[in-house]
Structure formats: structure tokens, C-alpha cells
Amino acid sequence: MRQLKLIVFDWDGTLMDSEAAIVAAISQSYRDEGMVAPAYQAVRATIGLSLLEAIQRLSPDLDHAVCEKLVSGYRRNYTARLKLPALFPAVRETLTELRETGYQMAVATGKSQMGLKRAIDGTGLQEYFVTTRTADICEPKPSPMMLQEIMDELDLGPDEAIMIGDTEYDLAMAKAAGTRHAGVSWGTHPVSRLLTFAPAFVLNTFCELPNELSRLG
């Protein structure tokens, strides 16, 4: 019997190619407040954290109230986009294959509940995920709380789950929760940063995932 039963995915940078949209929305939120936007690469490096923590890392000297305004501005700017960013190639087809194989799938993300719902509904992926956790209802990554709550809800243990993500925050969360973890090469953090967490594998294309999981057992 296959031991691995649950696959938990990060969203931004793992399933959805949303980097440019996120950076643009954060940068615009700064400009809306009459402030100079941080550099692209600085904003990019915070993707995967909760919005508030991202702003606090980008601008550690700002008052909490101003940080909250920037978070609100980000949400307003991101929601105002006419189109959602695209999924990465082969995501839908691969999720279908994984579901048909019998895996349960979930999402653990730095997005808000509202933001994740909009993304899942907008891409038509509702049927694939049995549960989700977001940074506004759980301690954000790299805390293990999201994974722990998902496993508790599904009555599964750490040896039955794997976390797939594009940042060290995803892999650090998984390591803290005691689950297996794997990276993707197309996201925010370079593979060299992911390798420091000894991932089970690093995907170069999403469609490699079923074969990599089958090797894990």
C-alpha cells in the first residue's frame, strides 16, 4: 500500500505564475501612499510570506498602521486586475492525474482566504483540493501550523504527507512539521536555496511530479 497519501501545494510561484502581478500590486501600494516602491528583486524575495510580514521585511522602520495600509492597498490593486495570472504549464493535467491516482491534495499559502478563493475559483480548480490553509487564519510560513492543521483535519501523519513549494519558507514549514518536502525550479527562490533543506526532489516541469512521487512510495 502506498504510504504517501497527501500532497500539499504552495500556490504563488508553484501552481500559479503570479510573481509579476504580486510585485506590481505591492509596488503600486507604495506609490498610492506617496512612497518609493522597493526594488523588484526585494519584493520578489518576500513572496511566500504573509502580506504583513512581507511589508515589514521590505520596510522595517514603518509604523504598523502604515504597513496595514500597504497590505490593504496591495489587496485592492491585485483584485483590480482584469485577469488572473496563468497557471504554470501542465498544472491542470497533472492535478487530474494525481487525483485519479488517489492522492488527496491541499493548499497551504501566504495568501488570504479571500485571495486564495478568488484564485481557485478563477482557475476552476475547486474540485482538486480537499482543504486549504491561508496566512490570515493560521500562523504564516515557516510556522508548521498550516500543515499540522491540514494533517489533523484529514487524520494523517507526517509520514503520509509531502509539501511542494518554490521557496525556502515552504520547505522550512514542512521540515518543522516533519513532512517530506520537494521544490520546484521555476519559482521565486533559486534551487540553491531550496537544496539547503534537502528536498526529496526538485521539479523542472510540473508534469514530472507523478513519477517523482511514485519513486517515493
The closest alpha carbon to 70, from 81, 60, 85, belongs to 60
Task: Check 10, 17, 166, 170 and give the catalytic one.
Answer: 10
Tell me if 95 sits within 8 A of 11, measured CB to CB: no
Regarding beta strands 6-9 and 161-165, do their DSSP bridges make them parallel or antiparallel, or are they unpaired? parallel
Which residue in the list 12, 61, 63, 152 is annotated as catalytic? Answer: 12
Please confirm, yes or no, whether 12 is among the known catalytic residues: yes
Long-range own/partner contacts, residues 113-118 (CB < 8 A, 24 or more apart): 113/137, 114/75, 115/75, 115/78, 116/11, 118/79, 118/84
- Residue 161 CB-density burial (10 A; 0-12 exposed, 13-18 middle, 19+ buried): buried
* Residue 63 a catalytic site member: no
Residue 112 has which C-alpha cell?
488570504
Task: Give the active site residues.
Answer: 10, 12
